[in-house]
Structure 1
Amino acid sequence: MVCACFGASSTKKEIRPSYISSEIDGYPLADVRPFSDKELRLATDNYHLSNKIGRGGFGTVYKGTLKDGRRVAVKTLSVGSKQGVREFLTEIKTLSTVKHPNLVKLIGFCIQAPNRALVYQYMENGSIYSALLGTKKTNIKLDWQKRSAICLDTAKGLAYLHEELVPHIVHRDIKASNVLLDRDFKPKIGDFGLAKLFPDDITHISTRIAGTSGYLAPEYALGGQLTKKADVFSFGVLILEIISGTSSARTNRTGSHKLFLEWAWELYEEGKLLELVDPDMKEYPEKEVTRYMKVALFCTQSAASRRPLMTQVVDMLSKEIQLNEKELTAPGFFMDAIQFSQKKSYPDSSISQIRDGHVSITMVNPR
């Protein structure tokens, strides 16, 4: 007869729901809540089409309302998307540890087979792309005060990732659709699925090419050499898009088929940079706007070593610093990128892994 006073024989092991976890792949999670698939379906009205607010590389984003009344954005991973699982886990690991006013906040996640989803704070004004650059632009009017603040605050978010965090983080996909705007038009960098961690003693890594054409630095697009300067290049393109109200992926306003950076560089050489400015922006301080565009050109120089650090970019945007334009060289993709590509062959698989577009190379004679 077993004595019941010890209770050993009657103890049952607690069974936790499959969606509850305090870690991902052995990586502890901080301040991130696990959700059940049922909770997220209730929040989004079963992912109703009317709640769809965007689409990413590996899934769709829906707006929703949690039981406590909080509005959220739910990013689902396409069922059966093996390619997106790695990016999904990377984003959870990255955003569970970083905290900055210009980085999107990850509230929680769902891993309840076969469904996976990420839950973010809801950004009332969508992305820079939807607000300013898309073919279906909203009625939002962004004056220079808002545009300049968006540029500067986004730079601060990137400077935090590159310089303040340990290990440092390279985002790898800085673009207009990945910078979100809250109700006050404060920008927050999102979509960290392609992010890479950089230990202090590492200057660069060789990696598969991933990102969006039009924003890719030449040394990365052609050789897979990734450094912080790849993000700096992408950010330079983003500044020019914000000022011009033109997407780098589309034909420029002149109707020619020149690449976006080629158009900007030619206007700079001709002393006509202000022709790049969005016609919808009626009033603006010409000197300050011109400085921002020149900073963008410093960021997009073809040689990575010539581009500034993001902390320097913050200073260049926020202070009336005299820029040494004698040191400014042409953007990529240009002659040096082409010559570099001729010295080394790259497997087709590398280029095919670039999302949302293809690599284009043009030849322009630098000054």
Structure 2
Amino acid sequence: MRKSLVIAFFVTICFIAFVISKIVISILLYKRWKRKHVIYEGYTGGKMVIFRSSILKSLTTEMVLKKTQKLNNKDIIGSGGYGVVYELKLNDSAAFAVKRMNRGTAERDKGFERELQAMADIKHRNVVTLHGYYTAPHYNLLIYELMPNGSLDSFLHGRSANKKVLDWKTRHGIALGAARGISYLHHDCIPHIIHRDIKSSNILLDQNMEARVSDFGLATLMEPNKTHVSTIVAGTFGYLAPEYFDTGRATVKGDVYSFGVVLLELLTGKKPSDEAFMEEGTKLVTWVKAVVQEKKEELVLDSSLGSCCPMHEVNKVFNIAMMCLEPDPLDRPTMAEIVNLLEKTETGS
């Protein structure tokens, strides 16, 4: 009997110690999270969360919130199916891009949640940095670092009269930077991140014209032991891998295909949805493949690159693009392999 009481006492003590340890760990984890975030409850019923960083250390969260609530049409720098993007200037040295996503439908709310989930802990020089977010009854805000040179799409296809022409070295650097960013999402993030909407308008350019992958509204998380995630087909026409339409399975090789289309944009200066392709009943990928097979890449190369473009490097990048665009996803390289191939092209080897 006494032995039974001792055992019962011992079990009780162990249980209490276990519970206390769990409570202590939870408190420590919460304090650690709180040190990294500043939360401000706004008077409009919303909540703002700012991730602590050197850029924002001198600014109060209340100041950021008040500034965001004064944004208007004059501050708009972009828009799309996701919502509107504003430029937010806090002072002479701090400026951000604020993406406003209106609430009201389950898909809009899911888009915000997907982007927030994907971006929460990402820190990479070729992926845009999320500095905070704001949730309110009628809309959500995502606060990103501002990319002063806009998107790759605007540089390649913008209709501005004073549009800056991208030389070959800059284009190659953009391709390599974007590849490194996507490779980080595929291989280094746990769970892995499938972007699902790789395109030139989602590749932003910083003050040094270095590429940053952006817009994670369609991003899907995938555990390392999985090969795909079943989803509703979504993305941008002209960039989507053909097998995605048939299976509804999002894979990292789908992102590889989309990146191959971006490489063709950099090489040809043409949009996947160019009117000329629509009139001829073809598309950018089919058009370029036919020319590459005949080894006449110079016929489709962007004329703005000029005659001094190093064709041996250009041809190598055309070949990398063709590898990305293989019909069978198993034949496509991984993004890590693409980074390696582009790096070798950069050195002229």
Match of 1:90 in 2: 114
Instruction: Kindly indicate whether the alpha-carbon contact (under 8 Å) linking 2:317 and 2:345 is maintained by their aligned counterparts in 1.
Output: no
2:175 to 151, 165, 170: 151
1:308 counterpart = 2:333 = yes
Read off the aligned partner of 1:304 and give its amino acid letter.
P
User: What is the aligned partner in structure 1 of residue 68 from structure 2?
Assistant: 40
Aligned length: 297
Query: Aligned runs of 1:1-367 on 2, under 5 Å?
Result: 16-17=41-42, 18-20=45-47, 31=52, 38-42=66-70, 46-48=71-73, 50-67=74-91, 69-136=93-160, 139-252=163-276, 256-282=280-306, 283-320=308-345
Seen in structure 2, the aligned counterparts of structure 1 residues 224 and 255 have a Cα distance that, compared at 3 Å, is: closer
**Residues 254 and 89 from structure 1, CA distance in 2 versus in 1: closer, same or farther, beyond 3 angstroms?**
closer
Deviation at 1:315, TM superposition (A): 1.1
SS, match of residue 280 in structure 1 = helix
Residue 30 and residue 69 in structure 1: after superposition, are their counterparts in 2 closer, same or farther (change >3 A)? closer
Whole-Å separation in 2 of the counterparts to 1:254 and 1:110 = 41
Return the alpha-carbon distance in structure 2 between the equivalents of residues 146 and 217 of structure 1: 27
Distance in 1 (alpha carbons) for counterparts of 2:336 and 2:162? 32
CA apart distance, 1:78: 3.0
CA separation of 1:108 and 1:30: change in aligned 2, threshold 3 A: closer
Residues 30 and 96 in structure 1, CA contact (< 8 A), matched pair in contact too: no
Matched-pair contact (CA < 8 Å) for 2:51–2:132: no
> Would you identify which runs of 4 or more consecutive aligned residues in structure 1 move more than 6 Å?
32-36
Cα 1:69–1:139 change in 2 (3 A) is: same
Distance in 1, Cα, partners of 2:221 & 2:106: 22
Distance 1:198 1:286 in 2: 39
Q: Deviations over 1:92-125 (max 9, x none)?
A: 1211211100000111111122131111111111
Question: Whose radius of gyration is greater, 1 or 2?
Answer: 2
Contact kept in structure 2, 1:167 and 1:198, CA below 8 Å: yes
Give the Cα–Cα distance (whole angstroms) in 2 for the partners of residues 93 and 218 of structure 1. Answer: 27
Q: Note if contact 1:243-1:277 (Cα within 8 Å) is conserved in structure 2.
A: yes
Q: CA 1:47/1:287 → structure 2, altered by over 3 Å: closer, same or farther?
A: same
Alpha-carbon separation, structure 1, partners of 2:134 and 2:41? 14
The answer (yes or no) to whether the contact 2:277–2:283 under 8 Å persists in 1 is: no
Which TM-score applies when normalising by structure 1?
Answer: 0.75
Cα deviation, residue 137, structure 1? 7.2
The alignment partner of 1:116 has SS state of strand
Any conservation in 1 of the 2:103–2:137 contact (CA below 8 Å)? no
What is the Cα-based RMSD across aligned positions, in Å? 2.4
C-alpha distance after superposition, 1:281-331 (max 9, x if no partner): 11310000111011001001110000000111011111159xxxxxxxxxx
1:220, 1:230 within 8 Å by CA — same for their partners in 2?
yes
Alpha-carbon spacing, 1:153–1:79, altered in 2? closer, same or farther (3 Å): same
